[in-house]
Amino acid sequence: MSLDAIREEIDSIDSQMLELFCRRLDLAADVAAEKAKDHKPVFDPARERTKLLDIAQKAPERLQPQAVSLFSLLMSMNKAEQQRLLHRDDDSSLSASARASLKPIDEPFPATAMVACQGVEGAYSQIAATRLFHVPGIVYFNTFEGVFRAVRDGLCDFGVVPIENSTAGSVNAVYDLLAEYRFSIVRSLRLKVDHNLLAKPGVKLSDVKEVFSHEQAVAQCADYLDGLGVKVTVYENTAEAAEFVAKSDRRDVAALCSRSCADLYDLSIIDEDVQDSDNNYTRFVVISAEPMIYPGATRTSLMLTLTHEPGSLYRVLERFYALDINLVKLESRPIAGRDFEFMFYFDLDCPVGTQALATLLDALDDVCEHYTYFGSYTEVM
């Protein structure tokens, strides 16, 4: 058989498969209606196991893995469609809430606002805030929770907090507070972070015996600090560490912080760009007590807790794949008090307003134990 003849037969088979696929997916409406009538869940694990076992037994041995994968994906698409149909007229669904949070197309992200930051002047959060807002009014707090409380109580319109570093990973305390306060992420910034070692004028690098900084900065400069052979003391904030060094009577201390702290606190840079990786970025997010989605949002953040059983993460990833949604971040974290169980952070690249994202937001119930939607937003560089 010639190549053209083979391709013609493949095209014929594909046409039949497409027709059958559409007929199969159309039946999702009938399945959803029957399940809703009997108050049955969309996900029926016993039915899926039986179905996949039947597929495996009927398929030739050499094609069993491919056949199981194909029908597993088909069932995932079917479940997502059932969820979409069941939530279609539900004003309390997550997709409906997201639509209600959409700002008008002609409403830009605010240029001015009262913004809460952790630390003091010169902190990386302050630098991020001045890039995220054209003219922010900044109020400083000692802790991340102080930032969240200020936004919750209406003292500030927004908060700016770090959520992830390219070297040290996620800032788990911020994720915990986002979940606790039910806040939304409304914008993010990817900020290049260059740490510098600052001390009082006249102090040499060889004089330094103790370095102060935030734990994230310490983690990002771990190899450098090990090479110095100094004592490292964790401080609440990099800029606060610089302020402490400036006010200290000691001349054997230094701070790891931003370059701007040198002028702010009358310190000298005794070593610059000391982070272990030149590709050192921190993502900062703007948090809001009310859900807001500004025009052009393309990134969505979620936190999922999965059941402790084989295939639980696969089912989530399969759902992303079935809806053609690009995953740009996946990070796991142990759940406190639960042995060998994890929660997962996901960042998705998918424009707000697409049917795929709306379907996903309403189709997570059957693939996880619990989930939190942190919002959809634009990330700026």
- Residues written for the chain: 381
The beta-strand segments (E) located in the chain are 112-118, 135-141, 158-165, 169-170, 184-192, 196-199, 210-213, 231-234, 253-257, 268-271, 281-288, 299-305, 326-334, 342-349, 370-380
Measuring CA to CA, which residue among 125, 144, 149 is closest to residue 136? 125
Mark the ranges of the chain whose per-residue pLDDT is less than 50.
none
**Count of CA atoms in the C-beta half-sphere (13 A) of 111:** 3
Report the pLDDT value the prediction gives residue 200, as an integer from 0 to 100: 93
C-beta separation of 237 from 120 below 8 A? yes
Please give the domain boundaries of the chain with CATH numbers for all domains.
1-89 (1.20.59.10), 196-271 (3.40.190.10)
User: What are the angstrom distances between the C-alpha of 376 and each of 162, 207, 349, 353?
Assistant: 17, 48, 10, 10
Report the pLDDT value the prediction gives residue 265, as an integer from 0 to 100: 92
CA atoms of 77 and 83, how far apart (whole Å): 10
**Count of CA atoms in the C-beta half-sphere (13 A) of 230:** 25
DSSP-derived letter for residue 61 is G
Q: Is 282 a catalytic residue?
A: yes
Report the pLDDT value the prediction gives residue 340, as an integer from 0 to 100: 65
Beta-carbon contacts of 211 under 8 Å, excluding residues fewer than 6 positions away, are: 197, 225, 228, 230, 231, 232, 233, 253, 254, 255, 256
Q: Residue 99 has which token pair? A: 């639509």
Report the pLDDT value the prediction gives residue 337, as an integer from 0 to 100: 65
Q: What is the pLDDT of residues 52-92, one digit of tens each?
A: 999 999 999 999 999 998 998 898 888 888 888 887 777 77
Catalytic option among 109, 148, 183, 282: 282
Report the pLDDT value the prediction gives residue 96, as an integer from 0 to 100: 85
Catalytic option among 284, 320, 344, 374: 284
Q: Is 284 a catalytic residue?
A: yes
Report the pLDDT value the prediction gives residue 308, as an integer from 0 to 100: 76
